[in-house]
Structures are given as C-alpha cells and as structure tokens.
Chain A
Amino acid sequence: MIEATDSDLIARAKEEPEAFGALYERYVDRIYNYICYRMGNDQEAEDLTARTFYRAMDHFHNYEDRGAPFSAWLYRIAHNLVANWHRDNSRRRMIALDDLVLSAPKGKGPAAKAEKSDREDVLMEAVRRLAPDRQQLIILKHVEGLTNAEIGQVMGRTEGAVKSLYHRALVALREDLVEEWDELE
C-alpha cells in the first residue's frame, strides 16, 4: 500500500479529522524530541508538544504548501512556543532532563561510567547555555538528523548561513567547555 504524501494528507485534513491524526502520528516523535531537548523537562515537553499540534490545528486553514516540508512549519510553531515559554517563565527554575534521567548512574556504576555521565552532563549544560538559535541548530542537526538545507528551511536561513552558524555554535561550545572538559579528560 502506498503511503499518503504530506501534501495529500494536508489537503484531506482540512475536511477529514483522521487525516490530521495521520499527520500528527507522522511528526509527533520529532516535535516532542525537539521540544524535549529545548526544555530539558519531559512534562513541559509533553505540554508544549500538545500545544504545538493544537496551534497547528488552529492555523491549519492558513497553511500553504510553498515547497518547504510540513515539518518545517511544525518546527517553527514549536520553536515559537518554546521561546514564549522561556520568556514567560524566565524566573522559573528548570529541572534539566539530565537531572532526571542521568542522575541515577552517578556514584552507583563503575567510575568510568560516572565520569562519562559527568562529561555528558557538562556537554548538555553547555548546549543549553548557547543562544536559542544555536541550540535549535544543534538539536535539529544532531538529534533530528536534518540536513543543512532542511535546517535552513526550518530556520529561514540559507544553507551557507546555517553552516556558518554551526561553526560559530561549535566554537562557542568549545570555549565554554575548555576548562570543564580538560578537568574531565
């Protein structure tokens, strides 16, 4: 059976609720994944994932297929919601995902494992200290596995601009990590 294309589902979803459901199933993992890394908290990630798809439903009648993938539109909605959340909750203390997921092995497993975990924590904390556009790029590239051209469509930049931004993001990470990483190595 041939799987329906995004364009088919988008055309049908304006009339058929099931078609919107199919689009949701196709992209929910990627959007959740993206939000989860931006938020560092799985409960907030679930909340913002739900809001992303509700907002997509609200504005679906305005969506026009202009050649960019549908996922780029969803990522932009998710990005705006995350940015709004951080703006509105700038004073709220966030519990990092790593604190929840990676805290268990610390001190329990072999020393090497704990050291590796420390190093991963340091790396993820440094990623979260990056500017929002750099964080977005790092997540889209290393978690979502998008190409530079696809990232350009999501971020509204040229492929060359994405490459430059990626270079600057890694330089910033290296500068941020230089002391902590040397200690861990």
Chain B
Amino acid sequence: MGSKKDYIDAVGPERAADRMAELLAGHVDAGVERASASGLPAEDRAELASLLKIARSLDARMTPACPSPAFVQSLGRELVEEAARRARQRKKRHRVAVISAAVAGGIVSVASVVGGIVMLVKWLRTRGDARQPSTA
C-alpha cells in the first residue's frame, strides 16, 4: 500500500474525498463494523475507522424521543376540531357566495325584463305618435 500522498496524486483530491464519503456512507448504511476498504492507504483506513466509531456512538446515543401520549392526544383533538371548523367555514363561505351570486343574477334578470318592457313601451309610443295624422 502506498502513502496517502501517492494515493491523492493518483486519484485527485476531489475524487479521494468523494471516495471517502462513499465508503463512509456504505459502511454506515450497511452496518459494517470494521473498515475494510481495499485500495485505501493505511492513513485513510484509520480515518475511516475513526469516523465509523463516531457514527456508531451516534447510533447508540441518538435513540428516539417519544412525545407524551397526553400531548399527542390533545394536539390531535385540537387539530381535528380546527380542521372541522375550517371545513364548516369553507362550506359557509361557499353557500354565501352561491346565494349572493343567485341574488345578483336575479336582480340582473329582473332589471333586464323591466328595461325591456320600458324600451318596448317607449318604442310603441314613438310608433303610435308617428302614425297619428297631423291636424295642422
């Protein structure tokens, strides 16, 4: 096995770092206990082993923290009530919008009919006036 410098010269510094990250991820994800990375210089194998040691310590230490059942229940109830309240509000807003649209539509329709009648009456009057013979 060559020195670390020879290794970095051979593969390039970026590639060496990427390879270390890949090896580390592979070992941690596979749960491999010992760093057995062939092709790595002894110095890098030692580094990998020391990082794996930290990873194992983190695994051992970082156990899930559970919320209290009372908190979970109470927040769940609040959220469902709030979601129900918002759903009711949405429905109410929708109903108000539909009724408002219907009323507005009705007003426009009535106004159109009234307008039409007025126009018709005006037209009939104008026509009647035009037909009457002049007495002058």
Contact = CB atoms under 8 A, between A and B. Distances in A.
A33 B58 contact: no
A174 B62 contact: no
Interface string B101-119: 0000000000000000000
Interface stretch (A24-32, A74-82, A87-95): A24-32
Task: Summarize B's interface: helix, strand, loop or mixed.
Answer: helix
B64 A17 contact: no
A32 B17 contact: no
Contacts of B75: 24, 28, 46, 49-50, 53
Contact of B62 (A37, A42, A50, A173): A37
Contact of B79 (A21, A138, A177): A21
Interface string B40-77: 00000000001100110111011111110001100110
Contacts of B63: 143
Contacts of B20: 167
A87 B67 CA distance: 25
B98 interface: no
Contacts of B67: 28-29, 32-33, 36, 45-46, 49
The contact size tier of chain B is: 35 or more
Enumerate the 10 nearest inter-chain pairs by beta-carbon distance, A residue then B residue, closest first.
A17-B83, A167-B21, A32-B67, A17-B84, A163-B25, A21-B80, A142-B62, A36-B65, A163-B21, A142-B58
A127 interface: yes
A133 interface: no
Given A28-B76, A32-B67, A167 B83 contact: no
